[in-house]
Amino acid sequence: MRTLWLGAALTAALGFVASAATQVTHTKNSGLYLTGADFQEGRVAYEGDCGSKAHKLELHDVLRKSYIHVTHEGAKKRFGKTELFGFRACNGRDYRFVVNLEYQILEAKDLYIYRREVLVSHGRGSHGVKKYFFSLGPGGEVRELTLENLKKIFPDNRAFHLSLDESFGAGQKLSEYDEGYQMFKVNRLLIASREVRP
């Protein structure tokens, strides 16, 4: 019995080591989402291995340029940021271009939830603050995540308005994530409000 147990433990350990080795050697890919529909379908254009010299995304985000450069299979191309929906970064995160800025896509349900670090003046200096934004679907206007903006998008959904007021009083943040439902709370409330409407 003990031999069986040791054999099973050894097999599991070897499986774990093999799995870990696979994860270490796996490389990340980056590329572009040409449209919102491409993002929804998971279609990444100009996709390539981040470790390859033949593939590179140059976002020019520090200078806030209106274009990016993509080196794909050794050829360099230029795209206007307004021509594209967004991109997948080497870290596996997805971003949407809004004017010349990148917004990280945190959730893509009825409401798309985004995050962006914004510089805020503080005394003589400035520091980065994470701010949250949303849009209605992939093509909607990106707005700051506030109660007022959410209510403006759904002016006739009284159930949603009431749920927002009840759920986000006493300093609760609209960026709260609901672990139980695996989604942002504002999306859960929106879905629930549609279920109770006639």
pLDDT tens digits for range 22-43 = 333 344 899 999 999 999 999 9
Whether residue 198 lies inside any domain: the answer is no
Whether residue 69 lies inside any domain: the answer is yes
pLDDT at position 139 is 94
pLDDT at 7 over 60: no
Record the pTM. 0.81
Q: Are 28 and 92 in contact (CB under 8 A)?
A: yes
pLDDT at position 54 is 92
Positive or negative: CA dihedral 20, 107, 82, 98: negative
- Residues whose CB falls within 8 Å of the CB of residue 73, separated by 6 or more in sequence, listed in order: 48, 54, 55
Whether residue 3 lies inside any domain: the answer is no
Whether residue 85 lies inside any domain: the answer is yes
Average pLDDT, the chain: 86
Q: Residue 118 is which amino acid?
A: V
Domain that holds residue 61: 27-104
pLDDT at position 11 is 41
Whether residue 86 lies inside any domain: the answer is yes
pLDDT tens digits for range 120-130: 887 888 888 99
Whether residue 141 lies inside any domain: the answer is no
pLDDT, average across residues 9-23? 39
CA atoms within 13 A on the CB side of 140: 19
pLDDT at 197 over 90: no
Whether residue 159 lies inside any domain: the answer is no
pLDDT at position 198 is 53
- Total domains, the chain: 1
Whether residue 13 lies inside any domain: the answer is no
- Integer Cα distance of 197 and 28 in angstroms: 44
Q: Residue 75 is which amino acid?
A: A
- Integer Cα distance of 98 and 82 in angstroms: 7
